[in-house]
Amino acid sequence: MNRGLPLITIIFSLGIIASDYIKPSFLVLLIAGAVLLFLSCLFKKKPIATDILLLLFCFFAGGIRSTGFNSIPKDHISNNISFADNKPVIIKGYVSASPDYRKNKTCFKFFAQEINQRGLKFNSRGETMVIIKGKSELKYGESLILDGNLRRPVGNYREYLKKEGIYSILYVPYAGRIISLKQNDGFVIKRFALWIKEKAESIIFRRVSFLSGSILDAMVLGEKRNIPAAVNTAMIKTGTVHILVVSGFNVGLVGFIMMLCLKILRLPRTLRGYLTIGLLLVYCFLTGSSTPVIRATVMGIMFILAQLLQRDPDIYDSLSLAALFILARNPNQLFDIGFQLSFISVASIVFLYPKFRSLVSPRMLKIKYLRYLIDGLLVSLAAWLGTMGIIAYNFRIFSPITIVANLFIVPAASLITLCGFSLIAAELILPGITHFFARFCELMVWILLSVNSLLLKIPGSSVSF
């Protein structure tokens, strides 16, 4: 089966979509999937029949995973609480994601392990979103006992949380209702990664202004919470908001630096590869395991493994495997705009860019600087064509300036990202030169924002509807 993995990913995704609309029984899907798998083994001597049966199995597998993910078990926290009386409950568990501090409140995901209501204790499971008034210094993995009121989320926030498998919100009125159990139940690698992130953030905000720090924090460490709303909106209008997240470029840069350093140390090739894979996983956790980072990490790992096995990596297979991994983990990601933009933009570039480049005169490509300009335009055009429909539908914005904007914004963002990594490294190794990188970061952030503002002033650069 040519291009088997991309086709399997598409069929698996169609199964998720069908399950979301039809809402079938989990048991029926499971039985149908088992029958198809059995029949594919039965007809293994007939390749065409086997391929058809396996593709049908992939379709049902998508439905099985979606239905199973969105089915709430009996002991789930959202089932074991009476929402009607709004009585206080005591929940024991641990912080399952880094807390977010904004608007005089602390928000974080909390994995429940035990519930105490009206003096009755019983085991439970599942995540809830916790909102505490004021700022509370909590960390990922910290075991807590929380005393608050459990309620159902409403409106758009309810749909947002549902995609994450969360169906309740625990409101804690003040930090005094939090008891720390002085233990940590989090994943050790993730705890280590978040510790590194905390140290890196302190270096960034200590060395540069808050505005520059917020942009560096987003580009290098994947933390967008401090970016001013005006900056985010301006980037959306020019179609360059993608630079404000950690993406494939960052993951590739981390991998390249790691491989280069290990090569200088003359470590064996195989050991270099596995150590780099380990670092990529740490960086993935450090940046919040967002969809673009998981995609780039899986693709990077596949590229390294292909090199170790002395095989040519296939970009379509790598992209498909990354999508399958994310959807198997959380099938609701298929309906998330971040997932859609991340994969469609890369697929558009991979598919359209070579076709566009083949139309360019070979003479023009022989001129070095002109070739770089043409390649930049064609990559930007391919990504814009692939994503403009999704952006227009979700943001009600049509931005033809995006093609030109990326020629200026992306190189500036790349320099800022490189400078951000250098700033952190210099602080740890040679603090005396850190101010040089800090000043350069400030300059590049000013140039990036100024160019973006200038592009927005061009008539017809961005049309809202």
Tokens 């209702």 appear where? 177
Residues 98 and 238 in one domain: no
**Coil, strand or helix: which one is 182?**
strand
pLDDT at site 3: 63
- Any idea what DSSP says for residue 165? T
**Span 416-433, pLDDT tens digits:** 888 988 999 899 888 888
pLDDT at site 137: 83
Residue type, 323: A
Q: What is the pTM of this model?
A: 0.84
CATH code, 116: 2.40.50.140
Tokens 């993951």 appear where? 251
Residues 150 and 219 in one domain: no
Name the average pLDDT for the chain: 86
**N residues, the chain:** 465
- Per-residue confidence at 82, pLDDT binned at 50, 70, 90? low
Q: Please report whether residue 76 resides in a domain.
A: no
Nearest of 304, 185, 317, 189 to residue 252 by alpha carbon? 304
Residues 98 and 235 in one domain: no
Handedness of CA 290, 291, 292, 295 (dihedral sign): positive
Segment (H or E) for 237: helix 229-238
Q: Please report whether residue 320 resides in a domain.
A: no
% of the chain residues with pLDDT over 90: 21
Cα separation, 216 vs 235, whole angstroms = 15
- Per-residue confidence at 84, pLDDT binned at 50, 70, 90? very low
Residues 163 and 109 in one domain: yes
What's the domain range around 214?
A: 193-268+334-464
Residues 396 and 431 in one domain: yes
Cα separation, 420 vs 264, whole angstroms = 23
Residues 383 and 241 in one domain: yes
Q: What 3 state SS string does 369-435 have?
A: HHHHHHHHHHHHHHHHHHHHHHHHHHHCEECCCHHHHHHHHHHHHHHHHHHHHHHHHHHHHCHHHHH
pLDDT at site 2: 55
Q: How far apart are the first and last CA of the chain?
A: 44
Residues 123 and 175 in one domain: yes
Q: Kindly write down the DSSP assignment for every residue of 300-365, as one continuous string.
A: HHHHHHHHHTT----HHHHHHHHHHHHHHH-GGGGG-HHHHHHHHHHHHHHHHHHHHHHTS-HHHH
**Coil, strand or helix: which one is 281?**
helix
**Span 202-213, pLDDT tens digits:** 999 999 999 999
Q: Please report whether residue 282 resides in a domain.
A: no
**Span 326-375, pLDDT tens digits:** 999 899 999 988 888 888 888 898 899 899 888 887 777 777 778 888 88
Cα separation, 197 vs 22, whole angstroms = 42
Nearest of 361, 341, 342 to residue 297 by alpha carbon? 342
**Span 299-308, pLDDT tens digits:** 888 888 888 8
**Lowest-confidence pick of 80-89, 168-177, 361-370:** 80-89
Domain end (from 152, 186, 220):
186
- Per-residue confidence at 65, pLDDT binned at 50, 70, 90? very high
Q: Please report whether residue 419 resides in a domain.
A: yes
Cα separation, 14 vs 21, whole angstroms = 11
Rg (CA), the chain: 24
**Span 379-400, pLDDT tens digits:** 888 888 888 888 888 888 888 8
User: Residue 260's CB: how many other CB atoms inside 10 A?
Assistant: 12
pLDDT at site 152: 85
Residues 241 and 155 in one domain: no
Q: Please report whether residue 367 resides in a domain.
A: yes
pLDDT at site 440: 92
Q: Please report whether residue 349 resides in a domain.
A: yes
**Span 92-145, pLDDT tens digits:** 999 988 888 877 888 999 999 988 877 778 888 889 999 998 888 888 889 999
Count of domains in the chain? 3
Residues 237 and 345 in one domain: yes
**Residue 51 region, left (φ>0) first, then alpha (ψ -120 to 50), else beta?**
alpha
Residues 358 and 209 in one domain: yes
Write the CB contacts of 5 (distance below 8 Å, at least 6 apart in sequence). Answer: 316, 317, 320, 321, 324
Residues 169 and 198 in one domain: no
Q: Please report whether residue 235 resides in a domain.
A: yes
pLDDT above 90 for 443? yes
Q: Please report whether residue 57 resides in a domain.
A: yes
Residues 55 and 30 in one domain: yes
